[in-house]
Amino acid sequence: MSATTDRSARKNWTVELRKRAVAALPPEKLLPDGQPAYLSSWIYVFGVLSLASLVVLIGSGSILALKGPTWWHVTGIGHFFNSMHLWSVELFFFFMVIHLWGKYWMAAWRGGRKRTWITGAVTFLVAIPCALTGYVSQQNFDSQWISTQAKDAMNATGIGAFFNLLDFGQMYSYHIYLLPVAVVALVVGHVLLVRKHGIVPPFILDEHQPILAAAATDGAAAAPPAEAEAERPAAAEATDVPDGQPQPATEAETPPTGEPEPTG
């Protein structure tokens, strides 16, 4: 219930933020129950698999953090969770790399989605030092060797002055707090951008380009893509869209900011 009048709402930061948030991401867009029909490739699975790996990664890492950095060296159950942490990070990067390659070959930045690509790419780059700080926090021979080898690159660039790979305490802080927070924040931003702008539609085939050009020449620059036109009868005939699902927009009903789509 709102205690704010229309007049005072204009000065209320909370109300303003809520209005903007709901306008950018209405609930049916944030948590969609429909997806564009073109999402029918296995490549779309790797985005959500990356997220799932991150969940397992954070879960296993949280258990390790709860018990402290020594625990996994001296107990079987601790070693088990450490192994889970290792394999989930391997999967996280594996899925993320395939996801990125898939998005590259889809040119997923098209149609105002450049920020979506940028946040995804930066997430990958920030995940690298996040993993590195984990490797040097293991407190075993591997961490000894990696830290002494990697320090030279850090020192040469000056980063080593405040990012000391040989300081376990500092690296542990980076690994269990600072960098994971950055990764999670970037992932949340990335997913929200995906939700806002939707998954990039397929390329318009070359044979349809002249149609577009002609339409533009006729002063119809805002005409829908030829392939969307081609899809439209199918949309009209679609019987598997239940009530309450986002319906395919007609030309006159084109939504201003796109339709709900999956995480992809």
Partner 1 sequence: MSRAERKREDEQYRTWKGPYRPYDLIREASIAVGVVLAIVVVLTILFSSPDDAPTTIQSWSKAAPVDFVSVANAELDGSSATAGYGPPYNTNGQPQQILGIKPANWFGVTYPIDTAQDYVILPLMTMTSVPGLQNAVKTYTSASSSQQGKWTTAYDSALAKAKANSDGTVTVPGNTASFGPVATMMSALLADAQSGGLDGNLLTTKQFYQTDYTKILMFLQDDNGDNAAANGGNLPDSANPGYFFNRAQSENLLGDQWGMMNETGSWPGQVWLWLYTFWYQIKPFSTSANADILVMAVMGVLSLAFVLIPFIPVINRIPRWIPIYKLIWREHYRQA
In the region spanning residues 226 to 245, those forming contacts with partner 1, defined by CB under 8 A, are 227-228, 230-232, 234-235, 238, 240-242, 245
Looking at beta carbons only, is 2 or 140 nearer to partner 1?
Answer: 140
Contact present, 234 and 226 (Cβ < 8 Å): no
Q: Does 217 bind partner 1 (CB under 8 A)?
A: no
CA-CA distance, 137 to 78, in Å (whole number)?
15
Q: Which of residues 31-90 bind partner 1 (CB under 8 A)?
A: 31-38, 40-41, 43, 45, 48-49, 51-53, 55-56, 60, 72-73, 79-80, 82-84, 86-88, 90
**Of the candidates 230, 243, 172, 168, the residue with the CA atom closest to the CA atom of residue 201:** 230
Token pair for 134 = 């984990």
| From candidates 10, 22, 68, 152, binder to partner 1 by CB under 8 A | 152
Q: Which of residues 197-216 bind partner 1 (CB under 8 A)?
A: 197-205, 209, 212-213, 216
| Residue 68 region by backbone torsions, left for phi larger than 0, else alpha for psi between -120 and 50, else beta | left
Burial grade of 1 (CB within 10 A; 0-12, 13-18, 19 or more)? exposed
- Binding range to partner 1, per CB under 8 A, among 2-10, 11-19, 28-36, 176-184: 28-36
| From candidates 64, 172, 175, 193, binder to partner 1 by CB under 8 A | 172
Token pair for 29 = 């867009």
How many CB atoms are located within 10 Å of the residue 261 CB? 22
Q: Does 181 bind partner 1 (CB under 8 A)?
A: no
**Of the candidates 227, 187, 223, 186, the residue with the CA atom closest to the CA atom of residue 204:** 227
| From candidates 12, 189, 192, 263, binder to partner 1 by CB under 8 A | 263
| From candidates 25, 67, 211, 224, binder to partner 1 by CB under 8 A | 224
CA-CA distance, 259 to 256, in Å (whole number)?
9
Q: Does 117 bind partner 1 (CB under 8 A)?
A: yes
Tell me how many residues contact partner 1 (CB under 8 A): 126
